[in-house]
Structure 1
Amino acid sequence: MTSQTDGTAPAEEFMDKVFGDYVGANAIFMAAIGDRLGLFKDLAAAGPATSVELAERTRLAERYLREWLDGMAAAGYLTFDANGGRYAMPADHVPVLAEESGTMFMGAAFFDYSTKFGESFHALLEAFRSGEGVRQELYGQEAAEAIERFTAPWFEHQLVPVWLPLMPEVRTTLEVGARVCDVGCGQGRALIKLAQAFPHCELVGLDRYEPAIQAATENARQAGVGDRVRFEMHDGAAGLPGPFDVITTFDVLHDSADPAGLLRAIHDGLKPSGRYVCVDINCADRSQDNVGPMGTVLYGLSLAYCLPVSLARGGAGLGTCGLPEGRLRAMALEAGFAEVRRLPVDDPFNNVYELSL
């Protein structure tokens, strides 16, 4: 046993922590394979399987599946029945691993985000040397899909039933029929949900990323709301085609190359009685307070995407933790907003704000 006085005990404790982090990284790597290939969903729907049975059900290579099943069992994601030789997913694991867009689903939040940035990794290393950014286009379609999957539970389970009841003026305006603009709309899920819930509204989504606009347009068509929702390739900071009754941004403002300019554009794009709904990161004003597991996740996301994408456009580079409540309030007042109200939402990841003129 190592002596507590020879100076090695703290180093060994930290070594244990790093090893634990590495264990987690390997579990996430293997889980990402299961997520992207639909293995968790298959086990949840079709039940326990041997590696041979799973290969037959999924038409994937048995040898790889055998290794993956053993790894997931070692990590505690699956269980193994030695008598039957079958691997199973415990019922309590199903909502976390297999229920897409569910309130507890973590596939997109962790598996996608942790494994979809390999192509941009070397570009990020070069950005550390040059101080420049990494273009959004370099991240590719899979990163866009990861963001879409990550944010989906907000719109499926929070936007209409939880957040809007806390904003009665906004909800009443939507019920009567409003002109709505979602800036940084991505693949359009927020506007589609609003269109389905409030059929008298006219809605437009803006995004700089052309593939997102194409996907959003198709998603709206498939949802049957394409006649009331349109999507345009447009940089919101350059001005909005207003005036609008309601403008929204969902996890967009801190990523913007020009967040101050975007806030001014949103201010100018609102009707006098309009409302701006801003959903952004729940973080502390001081960096030294963004510590522990959530702080680690937020700074990891920031380095992987938020910071380099903003800097690539010569932007402010706020980073994921760059827009805490205090900073948002100061920037909003400077942009001309009269009131910033933070909603009483208990969400470890998001703050929800209602801004008015």
Structure 2
Amino acid sequence: MSTTEQLELDPAEVQAFAGRAVADAATWMATTMTMFGDRLGLWRALADSRPVTSPELAARTGTDERYLREWLAAMTAHGYLTHDPGAGTYLLPPAHVPVLATESPAHIGGLHQALYGLTGMLDRVLAVFRTGGGVPINAYPRDWFEGLERFSAGWFDHLLPQVWLPTLPELEAALRRGADVADIGCGRGRALIRLAERYPAGRYTGFDVHPESIAAAEAAARAAGVADRVRFECLDVSGGLPGDYDVITTFDVVHDAADPRGILAAIHAALRPDGRYLCLDINSSHRLEDNRGPVAAYFYGVSVLYCMTTSLAHGGAGLGTCGFPEHTARELCTAAGFGTVRRVEMENPFNILYEITH
């Protein structure tokens, strides 16, 4: 007799969980259709919040009307669009526009592009699930990295200069004077480029292990007109940073590093005595029971599909997305030789910000 047969199951509990599981599957489908809307420019075409018919939208976007009509139905059923059956029109409500259609702190188009990129990695991750090891960072598609840049653009374009830095007066004063700044795990360079635009007296260097991201960062710096004070280098800094710096930053980097202890030790060694290390990482707890709900579930899923597996692919620690919470951050930073780890007060469901000094 199976364990299930031995138990007396409550049919109402079974039915309730079945309903939840079906709803979760429906959410996955809605997210997939939302990715299509981002990929095909459909949300941008709906951004004026004016009613439009499916033939009109098909002509505007260069898409097939029959497919588009089915997509519109899916998005209406999920509550992302409204539908006027009499006029046969569809409308993107104004409150949905900044989330789906235009660049803003609330925009999640980059998240959808990144998830679109991750869908192509499922077979690779399934394989290492059985064998151990991991999927290396250079196996991931361009959509993943471009999507991450778009998703984090809200931080660097709106939160870093206007919200975070004003809470760090000593660090911001150093930037205004003209600091030597290093960004580790710089990706496609957006954070340094924004800092260089706002604080032109500084000298900025970005380091990353992904050559394609470094090439994109260099092109972006040239396009922004800041290449005279921003440079990028493809380098694993866990063995040491070249030079020393007034300000060092990591933005959602330490938790998926192959050698987080090595990176923190390198930062400590390269940070000048009165320098400041600005560390943004995931808002989570070191206790699984505290990490509940949709956001935590998303973190753990991304960990399996990227953060943990890319670290393990290089023989790394495999901390995972939730692997550098405040408890661990304080422990590892103290072990690296830092004297002060200050959590910056801010309300953010995704991230915690720390100012760390000698």
TM superposition score category, shorter chain reference: over 0.9
Say which SS state the counterpart of residue 327 (structure 2) adopts: helix
Contact 1:97 / 1:107 at 8 angstroms: preserved in 2?
yes
The CA distance in 2 between the partners of 1:81 and 1:232, in whole Å, is 54
Aligned with 1:158: secondary structure?
helix
What does residue 33 of structure 1 align with?
Answer: 36
Gapped regions of structure 1 (runs ≥ 5): none
Alignment correspondent of 2:100 = 97
Aligned with 1:99: secondary structure?
A: coil
- CA–CA distance in structure 1, aligned partners of residues 146 and 114 of structure 2: 10
Alignment of 1:314-325 (within 5 A): 314-325=315-326
- State the partner residue of 1:243: 244
Shift of the 89–307 alpha-carbon distance from structure 1 to 2, 3 Å rule, reads same
What is the aligned partner in structure 1 of residue 4 from structure 2?
none
Q: What's the TM-score once normalised by structure 2's chain length?
A: 0.95
Cα RMSD (Å): 1.3
Residue aligning to 2:219: 218
Q: Indicate if the aligned counterparts of 1:40 and 1:98 stay in contact, CA closer than 8 A.
A: yes
Q: Counterpart of 1:44 in structure 2: which amino acid?
A: A
**Could you list the per-position Cα deviations for residues 191-247 of structure 1 after superposition, in whole angstroms to 9, with x for gaps in the alignment?**
011001101000010111011011111111111111110111111212111210000
Q: Distance in 1 between matches of 2:227 and 2:115?
A: 34
Contact 1:242 1:270 in 2 (8 A): no
Read off the aligned partner of 1:15 and give its amino acid letter. Answer: A
C-alpha separation between the residues in 1 aligned to 2:222 and 2:50? 35
User: What is the match of residue 45 of structure 2?
Assistant: 42
Name the CA distance, whole Å, in 2 between partners of 1:236 and 1:170: 22
Aligned counterpart, 1:83: 86
Instruction: Return the letter of the residue paired with 2:164.
Output: W
Question: Is contact 2:182-2:248 (8 Å) kept?
Answer: yes
What does the per-residue CA deviation read over 1:21-42, in whole Å, with 9 as the maximum and x for residues that have no partner? 0111111111110011110111
What does residue 345 of structure 2 align with?
A: 344
What TM-score, normalized by structure 1, do the two folds share?
A: 0.96
Structure 1 equivalent of residue 301 of structure 2:
300
The alpha-carbon deviation at position 107 of structure 1 amounts to: 2.3
| Amino acid aligned to 2:28 | A
Residue number in structure 2 paired with 1:273: 274
Preserved contact between residue 116 and residue 144 of structure 2 (Cα < 8 Å) = no
SS in 2 for 1:116: helix
Q: Deviations over 1:109-146 (max 9, x none)?
A: 3x234332122101111111111101112211111111
Asked whether the 8 Å contact 1:283–1:290 carries over to 2, the reply is yes
Q: Is the Cα contact below 8 Å between 1:180 and 1:201 reproduced in 2?
A: yes
Aligned twin of 1:138: 139
Alignment of 1:1-357 (within 5 A): 7-45=10-48, 47-100=50-103, 102-109=104-111, 111-357=112-358
Kept in 2, the 8 Å contact 1:28–1:114? The answer is no
Does 284-293 or 319-328 show the bigger shift?
284-293
Report SS of the residue matched to 2:52.
Answer: coil
Equivalent residue of 1:278, what SS? strand
**Equivalent residue of 1:288, what SS?**
helix
Give 1:348's aligned amino acid.
P
Contact residue 310 and residue 317 of structure 1 kept, 8 A:
yes
- Matches of 2:141 and 2:265 in 1, distance apart? 30
Q: More deviation in 8-17 or 42-51?
A: 42-51
* Number of residue-to-residue matches in the alignment: 351
Contact in 1 for aligned 2:255/2:321 (Cα 8 Å): yes
Counterpart CA distance in 2 for 1:355 and 1:44 is 42
